[in-house]
Structure 1
């Protein structure tokens, strides 16, 4: 039989960009070397874009705290809790926009959606430099949050569509880890830009304008470099596109579908694991918003001047990145995300206890600074939760909804976090710190409940397979460090025992509950 000339000849459903894949692509030969080559090419194109755009999103969000350090509150005549409200309005917009985000992520090509969002929040960030009062700042921050609303769920979905489940933790850590890098860069930029003397612009206006313009310039570059999915990837050859589909067969979480299915929405809404992830996201991001919005102010309350305060946040940013990569590496190697996530919350509780218990005086500044730096461990949590969600959710619509709900819960946490810390409680902030202590203690309990829930779901899946005439045992190649092809003959031909290989439904857009061969990871 003649060899097909292209991927389109062998698999017609891949012929047009954005077309729904209705049938599974055929099995094609794929070695470990092929898999690594395709992964490296994906890293050089898709992962680089994800890292840069997510870095810009965090940078634009983070500089608000540095604006406060360099006179934002005084120059715009903010009083009472107005600064806290400005910190909360962006996540309020994100929370309100999530139902639309989940729809747009499914319906709009990622090549179009990502640069459009990037351009929108870049313009909003630049407009912050033109604000002179509370009302104008609220409006600009609202639109900043609106355009940023789809960023995290979109990135989670993209990662799940381009990488094997075993590869996802480190890739998610790579782009989410820019939280720490953005903190370092924001501190360095603020320190440098604040020394610019201008008769027209204040220091905080220069900071906002600079980072906003960098984001705006990046949008057309993202559009030029981004691809929608594996079947239309310009950086892959025709043969590599089929091999790329083969690489992801065992994921069983789909490689993209443009049909928005309300049955997926209903399934996500009825599952306990959805609400456990919502709880984790909200609790984690209450703490994260505290460090982003009030971190510089807390450091300033330790007696440092505004320039030293900016520089002292740089080690904190480095610790964020280290903790994100460390947590994801441990999850990648040990593959027990629940235990690792719980363990990373314990130093956070310790850090909060130090900030709460140690009195504010010059002799205690070292201990207080150490307590603040311990809060960096909480940033190892979000990428693990994102990995949990995208690795345990199948079906394009369901995955989009699950990630949007995660982002909505994160937004809710970002709303609540700043409101726990009132200006009248400065510099100790005891009521807010006390609340955070309880929050992170509850976080550990929720993680352990989710771990037990996923273990139970796997047992339930095994019973379903037996009822359907399959083996209870299943080989999940997606979590193996090295690529293993799913052979047509199956392992049972060699051993005489029936073995089910996960990966028969790569293109059917089944949810994890619809597919009895789906294996949950915990």
Structure 2
């Protein structure tokens, strides 16, 4: 049989018990000798699975790798996209309901409506530590499906709320159950995809916010015209809740807990699905909660950088998502026209989210794209602040509002930037939890910067948002500089251990562009045992082969 050097497009994959230094994993990774001095129970589940896998060699071509990736996308992405679409729709039902008489019918006064927007994130803030622990210890798919069922049931019950107390209780429970969804999806993407593939997948499910703002506006427009004993906003709550409950059952049946337990993959495909992630240097999941990972996450400056980034972007996000339709209505439009004019907002969101991910994927950088995405919201806030509110100003005001709507493209890039720069199962979950703590705090504060009594200008909220987008740009520059420092430290560590000081990050490379140079890089790295800690459940700071991404 010919060797990989004879056929650079064919890569031999073996189980860890029968590996050779020249053996390489699918398309992107070498298969180095396993570390034997770490107890199996303390290692990643992928290491346990590979240890029990067949010892006979498996020949994997790039087409095999593409085929497995395609199967993963087909089986996972539709579930993730639809569930996040439902969650986004459920969250925005409050803002849609506000233009259909919710405030008047339930006799909300003062800042009560603002608190209905914030209380969801208060619950999410409280429950994030439990979510982080559950994502390490519990089956990911079944845990998420159960939470989806619970929040759908609560949304159905919200139909019966007649006043502030009932609405507040329902929104609190919604936040508690929804707290797990986005962290779960971040974990799922890290568990199934190469680092190069993660950005577009995270952007895909986050882009559902834009889809909801388009289709949700049309859906609300139609539901609002239904003649019934129920008020239009009650019909919206009931409809969205019933769909969520129904789909949670579908998710429970078809959402796998990990690549090792995926029924849609054959046994050899499971090995491919695992080995293709080796050069991520991040592992898949250990099922073991490690307090040393928690300590490192809390002491790692990167964790607090990601936290500050999410906090800063989530404050304007929380305010605009809650008061967006009211801002449009303040331009002088009626309820139904307001809903229709919210549709372009969703289109801009989706284009910015997917476009930002596509560009960052092409240039292999998150930070530069994040900086660019800060500019349109800054311009939009300035337009709304300096423009009058006369009928002749409506076109300019709408342009300013739509320019602001570029901001949703920022959050998924922060999720990916953080996820691609963090290794170790517990540390990843804790770091993701910290991101969502920041997001929750931001979404609590955001609606408080806007008050219905301040219409039509909402000057305080817009000025605050303008300042926050500027702060966000500064934090991104700080992140770029810190990652540069970390990569220099890693190079020094490798040199001290006798490894190449400069190595290529195969998890961020594309073989189609790298060609023969890419194949030679894979084989040479296999000789150096780069990747031998990939499935040992060690953190990025403990693994000298880990390469940080800008």
Whether TM exceeds 0.5 here: the answer is: yes
1:343 is aligned to 2:375: no
CA contact (8 A) 1:502 1:518 kept: no
Query: Out of 146, 168, 172, which is 1:138 matched to?
Result: 168
CA contact (8 A) 1:490 1:499 kept: no
Q: State how many pairs are aligned.
A: 509
Task: Encode CA deviations 1:106-151: one digit per residue, 9 max, x unaligned.
Answer: 1110121111110111112112211000011010000101011111
**Partner residue, 2:504:** 475
State the SS of the aligned residue for 2:532.
coil
Query: Out of 38, 57, 68, which is 2:98 matched to?
Result: 68
Query: Out of 64, 83, 90, which is 1:53 matched to?
Result: 83
Task: Encode CA deviations 1:296-333: one digit per residue, 9 max, x unaligned.
Answer: 00000000000000011111111111110000001100
1:418 is aligned to 2:447: yes
1:86 is aligned to 2:88: no
State the SS of the aligned residue for 1:166.
helix
Separation in 1, partners of 2:383, 2:531:
49
1:255 is aligned to 2:284: yes
**Partner residue, 1:519:** 547
Query: Out of 300, 309, 314, which is 1:285 matched to?
Result: 314
Residues 1:170 and 1:502: Cα distance change in structure 2 (over 3 Å): farther
Task: Encode CA deviations 1:257-295: one digit per residue, 9 max, x unaligned.
Answer: 100111111111001111111111011111211221000
RMSD: 2.5
Residues 1:183 and 1:433: Cα distance change in structure 2 (over 3 Å): same
**Partner residue, 2:456:** 427
Separation in 1, partners of 2:373, 2:522:
41
1:198 is aligned to 2:232: no
Separation in 2, partners of 1:334, 1:395:
26
**Partner residue, 1:181:** 211
State the SS of the aligned residue for 2:284.
coil
**Partner residue, 1:334:** 363
Task: Encode CA deviations 1:226-272: one digit per residue, 9 max, x unaligned.
Answer: 11111121111111111111111111111111001111111110011
CA contact (8 A) 1:50 1:155 kept: yes
Q: 1:22-61, aligned counterparts within 5 Å?
A: 22=48, 28-61=58-91
Separation in 1, partners of 2:17, 2:485:
43
Separation in 1, partners of 2:385, 2:346:
22
Separation in 2, partners of 1:390, 1:405:
12
**Partner residue, 1:151:** 181
Cα offset, 1:453, TM superposition: 0.6
Task: Encode CA deviations 1:426-468: one digit per residue, 9 max, x unaligned.
Answer: 1100011111111110000001101111111011001011112
Cα offset, 1:502, TM superposition: 4.0
Separation in 2, partners of 1:106, 1:402:
12
CA contact (8 A) 2:504 2:521 kept: no
Separation in 2, partners of 1:50, 1:23:
25
**Partner residue, 1:303:** 332
Query: Out of 496, 503, 519, which is 2:531 matched to?
Result: 503
Cα offset, 1:20, TM superposition: 7.0
**Partner residue, 2:134:** 104
Residues 1:8 and 1:412: Cα distance change in structure 2 (over 3 Å): same
Separation in 1, partners of 2:532, 2:384:
53
1:325 is aligned to 2:354: yes
Residues 1:192 and 1:164: Cα distance change in structure 2 (over 3 Å): same
State the SS of the aligned residue for 1:128.
helix
**Partner residue, 1:3:** none
Cα offset, 1:63, TM superposition: 1.2
CA contact (8 A) 2:136 2:425 kept: yes
- When normalised by structure 1's length, the TM-score is 0.93
- When normalised by structure 2's length, the TM-score is 0.88
Residues 1:501 and 1:365: Cα distance change in structure 2 (over 3 Å): farther
In structure 2, stretches of 5+ residues that fail to align are: 1-13, 20-38
Task: Encode CA deviations 1:134-174: one digit per residue, 9 max, x unaligned.
Answer: 01101000010101111111111110110111111111111
Cα offset, 1:503, TM superposition: 2.2
State the SS of the aligned residue for 2:160.
coil
Separation in 2, partners of 1:369, 1:353:
13
State the SS of the aligned residue for 2:285.
coil
State the SS of the aligned residue for 1:462.
helix
